[in-house]
Amino acid sequence: MNNGHDVKVLRDLATQVADIAAKDIQDQRRDLWRRHNSLQRTRPLVYLLGQPFWCEVLPDDKLTCQDPLLRQYERRLRQTIFHDTLADDTVIEPWLTVAALYATRTGPNRWGPEIKHIPSPEQRGAWLFDPAIRSEDDLTKLVKPVHRIDEAATAQQAERLHHAVGDILPVCVDRKPYYYHWTADISTDLVQLRGLEQFMIDMIERPAWLHRFLAFMRDAILAVQNEAEAAGDWRLCDHANQAMPYSRELADPTANGQSVTRRQLWTFVASQETTSVSPAMFDEFMLQYQIPIMQPFGLSAYGCCEDLTHKIACLRNIPNLRRVSVTPWADLPACVEQIGTDYVISWRPSPAEMICNGFDPDRVRRTIRQALTVAKQTHIDICLKDVETIRHRPEELVAWFRLVREIIDEYA
């Protein structure tokens, strides 16, 4: 049974989000993203992605719900309300999503051996890999995953949220397989299991063994995703492209519970761990194993924080590629020259220069104008990503987006 106080808090917040989601601007943004992601000319779009700074804007002591589940959604709703103040091009959707709970192995033991780290003593500090696959024989410890949803537990959570706010915001149950996004790009989990330095050594010293490792992960991920499709567990809420997953080629994201195939969805894949690897080795020891996972989807986006400047020729072998990440460490002019108008450029200016170390309007103007001048003939959007801190000054984040929109309007 839901706590009365918690329900009242959630309903008040849900009403605010429903009002925001009903604004005409949301449909205007959807249309912009449909055209932009379908390689039609629009103004450059700008949006926020990844928000490690939330602990500054919304610390735990500002949350009032006591129930852990409802507290989770209180946080999510408050974040959405704050995000609306940025006036970026993010589409705020009129529903809440409840992730399915799985009846099979998940979490750190998702591949059998436990994924472990050696943590930093500093709060929010870095960590070291503590790999479980230390010898070639350890490969036998890997376990093939399966797709099984705990229907009773999933229904219970969805019903509790629906009981609280379902008449205000529809509740969408997300039944996609656990092995998706970061657990399905191979790169992330392989290095979690093996260690980054050892992975690079393996390419040279034991390539045949590494190919076996990669093939096992590729086949396991494909098997799980195939099982989910056979079970009818993919939904239109499962689009993923590290932006707004709208396009003219694919159906819009929705909260309905109808089954779809992967061919109707966006997917996103990256390999941050191979940033320092040559294009040839990246292609042999990563991309060729990722492509079969991406192929069943309708459209795909590639790249997160890695520098892909010298790997774009490799990425052209992805048959459904539509978006390419261009990070602060990439050579933007070189990427623009290679990408042209064939794909969307998801440009990510350095958050440290933009906002984390102080908001300098002149520096922002100079950086954004220079990038838009270089990429003026392309399909580019601006993604402010992984903002670790705003130094407890949310008004500067609002000012950053206001300034960037002014600059964009100059170019539009």
pLDDT at 17: 98
DSSP structural state of residue 253: P
Is the pLDDT score of 198 beyond 80? Answer: yes
CB atoms within 10 A of CB 149: 21
List 46's β-bridge partners, or say none: 382
Report the C-alpha gap between 12 and 5 in whole angstroms.
11
Is the pLDDT score of 320 beyond 80? Answer: yes
Is the pLDDT score of 34 beyond 70? Answer: yes
Report the C-alpha gap between 289 and 317 in whole angstroms.
12
In the numeric block, which tokens belong to residue 363?
């520096």
Sheet with 266-269: strands ordered across: 45-49, 379-385, 344-347, 321-326, 299-302, 266-269
pLDDT above 70 covers a percentage of the chain that reads 100
Q: Which helix (H) or strand (E) holds 48?
A: strand 45-49
pLDDT at 412: 75
pLDDT confidence tier of residue 3, bands split at 50, 70 and 90 = confident
Report the C-alpha gap between 339 and 379 in whole angstroms.
10
Taking the CA of residue 125 as centre, how many other CA atoms within 13 Å lie in the half-sphere pointing to its CB? 9
Mean pLDDT of the chain: 96
pLDDT at 29: 98
> 381-393 pLDDT, tens per residue?
999 999 999 999 9
> 277-290 pLDDT, tens per residue?
999 999 999 999 99
Residue with tokens 């376990």: 143
Is the pLDDT score of 1 beyond 90? Answer: no
pLDDT confidence tier of residue 351, bands split at 50, 70 and 90 = very high
pLDDT at 313: 98
Q: Residue 351, SS3?
A: helix
CB 301 within 8 A of CB 271: no
* Higher-confidence position of 275 and 124: 275
CB 178 within 8 A of CB 111: no
In the numeric block, which tokens belong to residue 405?
């929109």
CB-based burial of residue 366 (10 Å sphere; 0-12 exposed, 13-18 middle, 19+ buried)?
A: exposed
CB-based burial of residue 403 (10 Å sphere; 0-12 exposed, 13-18 middle, 19+ buried)?
A: middle
DSSP structural state of residue 102: B
> 95-146 pLDDT, tens per residue?
999 999 999 999 999 999 999 999 988 888 888 889 999 999 999 999 999 9
Is the pLDDT score of 14 beyond 80? Answer: yes
- The mean pLDDT value for 180-205 works out to 97
Q: Which helix (H) or strand (E) holds 370?
A: helix 361-374
Report the C-alpha gap between 273 and 203 in whole angstroms.
13
CB 346 within 8 A of CB 46: no
In the numeric block, which tokens belong to residue 331?
């050579």
pLDDT at 289: 98
- Give domain limits for the chain: 4-411
- The mean pLDDT value for 199-220 works out to 98
pLDDT at 411: 85
Residues 6+ apart with CB under 8 A from 232: 259
Single pTM value for the model: 0.96
* Higher-confidence position of 212 and 257: 212
Q: What is the CATH number of domain 4-411?
A: 3.20.20.210
